[in-house]
Structure 1
């Protein structure tokens, strides 16, 4: 899929400890060989925390920003994206206490509680389309 200047995207990290996380950004330049400069919305440069990080990434590391999906709650074992450490991480709902949902990140063996506002319905970018996992009964 080709991207263009101004497109809102997410970039998948390949760094150890961050594999599978996605970071929101905007395409600010297009280069040859399906590479793009992306200005991140939440990541900043090491030397100036007021300046957004701009990075050149390959098309295979990018996807369009997912559409907003209205959700009133999440089901047990439903896949969700949790916003943490400036990016979106895929996990599964393991419980709920009050307004917090507990999310298990299988890859890292960690379970963390998040308020509803830091969660979104998980969607997969497959074959150029957003695909939603099967919905379960919300608790």
Structure 2
């Protein structure tokens, strides 16, 4: 997929500790080597003077996934959690009160989050969004 200046996207990270995460950004320009200059919406420069801009490979950029309304999740549902300025993939392992426990395979952590921080996990495959095995039934 080719992105144009101003397109809203998500950028994956291949750095240790960040694998499996996506950060909201906007395309600033397209470079000739299948790369883009992006400006992150939530990440700042080291000196905190403004939004971080960087050059990223085209295979690290995807469109923003479509919204998939969810009023709850079930055990083992794949979700994305908004935390630490980006979206992180995990699996629901339980629910206590209004919080869902999510396990992150890449870190081995299990952390509780409110429903407002969760979205249905989707993969961008062959220029199409494919939702996870979301069952659309809430834990009780």
TM-score, normalization by structure 1: 0.96
2-structure distance, mates of 1:5, 1:13 = 21
Does residue 36 in structure 1 map to residue 41 in structure 2?
Answer: no
CA-based RMSD: 0.9
Instruction: Give the 3-state SS of the residue equivalent to 2:2 in structure 1.
Output: coil
Instruction: Give the 3-state SS of the residue equivalent to 1:75 in structure 2.
Output: coil
2-structure distance, mates of 1:20, 1:58 = 16
TM-score, normalization by structure 2: 0.95
**Number of residues paired by the alignment?**
138
Instruction: Give the 3-state SS of the residue equivalent to 1:10 in structure 2.
Output: strand
Equivalence map 1:93-132=2 (5 Å): 93-132=92-131
List structure 1 segments (4+ residues) > 6 angstroms apart after TM superposition: none
| Gap runs ≥5 in structure 2 | none
| Gap runs ≥5 in structure 1 | none
2-structure distance, mates of 1:87, 1:118 = 11
Q: Is contact 2:29–2:37 with CA below 8 Å preserved after alignment? A: yes
**1:50, distance to aligned residue in structure 2 (A):** 4.4
* 2:80 matched residue in structure 1: 81
2-structure distance, mates of 1:134, 1:120 = 13
